[in-house]
Structure 1
Amino acid sequence: MRVDIDGLGVEIAGARLVRDVALRAGSGQLVGLVGPNGSGKSTLLRCVYRALRPAAGTVRLDGEDLWAMSPRESARRLAALPQESSSEFDFTVAEVVAMGRLPHQSGAGRTTAADREACAAALRRVAADHLAGRGFLTLSGGERQRVLIARALAQQPRVLVLDEPTNHLDIAQQLEVLALVRDSRLTVLTALHDLNLAAVHCDLLYVIARGRIVASGAPHDVLTPELLAEVFGVRAHRVPHPESGAVQLLFDRLPAG
């Protein structure tokens, strides 16, 4: 499923946080959104998963206006993993994953055999089926992210939106989560803090600064020393990844003056 964002603007309390953003994610692509803290990444993604209504512009899924859909209809097409996904109640893993089936259930909320199979398949897909009976709050950070991805997969969407899915994870867990996302074969739009992870795993990158898209394209073309100095305020040295050949970055402070 294709995602098209055109002319998107967000204004809160008189402050324009996102300005005239245009973005494309082709069917099956993994598209990364990168930028400094406070640049507007999370605000933009909140508009895509309907947590925040934009002041201007459109978000379209295969040409259909996302905000013209009912919440249930949009949830059948798009699933999200926000930056902070906490629970005050210690649901079991199975119960958390089952929440992903709500958009497909009738008003009575009855769980069907198809719901149970979708949840079991999602847990197997992220190699977390052995955790089904565990309390969600007892899990490690990496285990929680796998379960939340399973919940999103159980929703059976065609688009997945992730806001900093590798935050607070160790290196092995970061690689595991991004591999799971890549293997989902869904259209994925994700904000990433780590530029090297973004360079290896994303098909396309959009760089956002002060609420505007300032560069877009393949990681090798976008992550230039000139852009990184301008947007992130660092001096970057580009080296090829020894296995994939993808661009990787080493950083220094910019020289004084």
Structure 2
Amino acid sequence: MDIEFIVDILPRLLNPLKVTLLVSIISLTLGTLLGVSLGMIWVASTPRSFQRLLLNSYVWFVRGTPIIIQIYIAFFLLPKVGLNLDVFWVGVVALTFNSVGYQIEIVRAAIESINQGQWEAAGSIGMTQRMTFFWIILPQSARRMIPPLTNELSNLIKASSVLSVISLFELTKAGDAIIASSFKFAEVLLLLSVLYFSLIQALSAATKYLETEVFNFDKADFESGKTFGQIY
């Protein structure tokens, strides 16, 4: 194992690391905006409505197909409809498309995890369903979305490695280029593993901090008998 080589190539991976973080964060942000909106539509619609059927089909497609297929669809389909985007933004579109499918379920589960009695209590004091949702249910649901959204960012960081197939020069693609020129597979793969692992562990630590110190999650938060994790 050539430790000196690992130290030498580390600076060459910092810019690709920034690309990995940037494409993941932008995709999460766009995915959250769309996912929350579509998730609210899912909850508000009836089980046999067209909206519910359409959203369910979308979620099933995202969850039932490999991320690489979704990336190729974005890469080859967008130019067909007149959108000639840089590979960075093609990657953002593909990851956002994927993330929205999961975030719809995050929103649905968060809203359904709120005790049904709160709807009834709000109605008993004259609040309409719309008022109850926006003033009582949604704030509590948003609080419960934070941990799974952090986990979704971890998933996007790992999924971003597949963007190397469309030649986005992110962390994995940069590692491939170094391997091609040096033939030092073990050293490069070890460093890539350490960098990805460090990112994910940092996000895990941030999630635990948010749960325990900022949002003060405890068993009392899940008085309905089902924890968010069980529903999601």
TM-score (norm: length of structure 1)? 0.22
Q: Which has the higher contact order (CA 8 A, sep 6+)?
A: 2
Higher helix share: 2
Higher-Rg structure is 2
TM-score (norm: length of structure 2)? 0.23
